[in-house]
């Protein structure tokens, strides 16, 4: 059976064009014309991919993207954002918030279908988690839960290790405090005080990582990102 694609787009012409082309490819599709309906729709439906316009009435696409990536139940659904050329910065923010790809309007259906196929192929065959990770002076053995810097073993607490692992597994992407808290500590509703738990652990982790701590980037008022290339 072909995959199910949700389209969130308020412009009727574009939505109709998308629906036509997706159906022609055999995909099951649903169209929503505003951001408010997305979370309600996802309670009962599990799309394999979401095509998300950024300029939407009510809740805009970036907000929708952020909410989807924050929620553990929807965080793994790939998102392609649709942007107008003038929304270059929104595109970057969208990718930082966890969107998988973007496409600029006007676009050719053929290009969009190619992007969809590539993303679905990736999400259907996720790469196996590597046993070890190495960058700069830092080496991590995930199976042995061991970290070394320049060959010297670093002792991390289990939470610090988990935190580093989650950041590395999403390297290059910003992860919100709420996301980290939810993933590592399993708090469903994070409060102000609880999200500070993340900051405290980042601080002790950075201290232990010494020179390699530069790879953990703070994204102000949002969260953290791990950078491989510094």
Among all chains, which residue has been given the structure tokens 């510094």?
230
10 in contact with Ca ion (CB under 5 A) = yes
Count residues binding Ca ion (CB under 5 A): 4
Residues 6+ apart with CB under 8 A from 23: 29
Interface stretch with Ca ion, choices 4-12, 44-52, 92-100, 211-219 (CB under 5 A): 4-12
**Cβ distance to Ca ion smaller for residue 32 or 95:** 32
* Separation of alpha carbons 16 and 7, rounded Å: 10
**Cβ distance to Ca ion smaller for residue 57 or 172:** 57
Of residues 31-60, those binding Ca ion (CB under 5 A): 53, 55
What's the number of CA atoms in the CB half-sphere (13 Å) around residue 186?
1
**Cβ distance to Ca ion smaller for residue 55 or 217:** 55
Shortest reach from residue 14's CB to Ca ion, in Å = 8
Nearest of 2, 55, 54 to residue 29 by alpha carbon:
2
**Cβ distance to Ca ion smaller for residue 84 or 120:** 84
Shortest reach from residue 10's CB to Ca ion, in Å = 5
Contact 202, 167 (CB under 8 A): no
Shortest reach from residue 225's CB to Ca ion, in Å = 28
Of residues 145-164, those binding Ca ion (CB under 5 A): none
What's the number of CA atoms in the CB half-sphere (13 Å) around residue 40?
5
The number of beta carbons lying within 10 Å of the beta carbon of residue 28 is 14
**Cβ distance to Ca ion smaller for residue 53 or 212:** 53
**Cβ distance to Ca ion smaller for residue 8 or 164:** 8
Shortest reach from residue 12's CB to Ca ion, in Å = 10
Contact 61, 105 (CB under 8 A): no
Pairing of strands 49-53, 79-84: parallel
Of residues 90-129, those binding Ca ion (CB under 5 A): none
Residue nearest to Ca ion (CB): 55
Shortest reach from residue 55's CB to Ca ion, in Å = 4
* Separation of alpha carbons 98 and 78, rounded Å: 9
Interface stretch with Ca ion, choices 10-18, 22-30, 67-75, 144-152 (CB under 5 A): 10-18
Shortest reach from residue 54's CB to Ca ion, in Å = 7
218 dihedral zone (left: phi>0; alpha: psi -120 to 50; beta): beta
Binding site for Ca ion (CB under 5 A): 10-11, 53, 55
């Amino acid at each position: 059976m072909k995959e199910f694609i949700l389209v969130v787009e308020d412009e009727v012409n574009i939505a109709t064009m998308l629906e036509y082309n997706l159906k022609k490819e055999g995909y099951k599709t649903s169209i929503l014309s505003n951001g408010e309906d997305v979370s309600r729709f996802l309670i009962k439906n599990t799309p394999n991919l979401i095509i998300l316009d950024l300029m939407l009435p009510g809740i805009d696409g970036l907000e929708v993207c952020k909410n989807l990536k924050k929620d553990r139940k929807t965080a793994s659904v790939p998102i392609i954002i649709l942007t107008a050329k003038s929304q270059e910065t929104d595109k970057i923010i969208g990718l930082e918030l966890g969107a998988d790809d973007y496409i600029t309007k006007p676009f050719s259906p053929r290009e969009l279908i190619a992007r969809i196929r590539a993303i679905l192929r990736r999400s259907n065959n996720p790469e196996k988690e590597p046993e070890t990770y190495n960058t700069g002076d830092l080496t991590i053995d995930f199976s042995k839960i061991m970290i070394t810097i320049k060959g010297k073993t670093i002792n991390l607490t289990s939470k610090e290790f988990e935190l580093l692992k989650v950041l590395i597994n999403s390297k290059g992407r910003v992860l919100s405090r709420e996301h980290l808290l939810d993933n590592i500590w399993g708090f469903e509703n994070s409060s102000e005080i609880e999200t500070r738990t993340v900051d405290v652990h980042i601080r002790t982790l950075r201290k232990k990582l010494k020179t390699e701590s530069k790879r953990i980037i703070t994204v102000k008022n949002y969260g953290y990102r791990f950078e491989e290339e510094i």
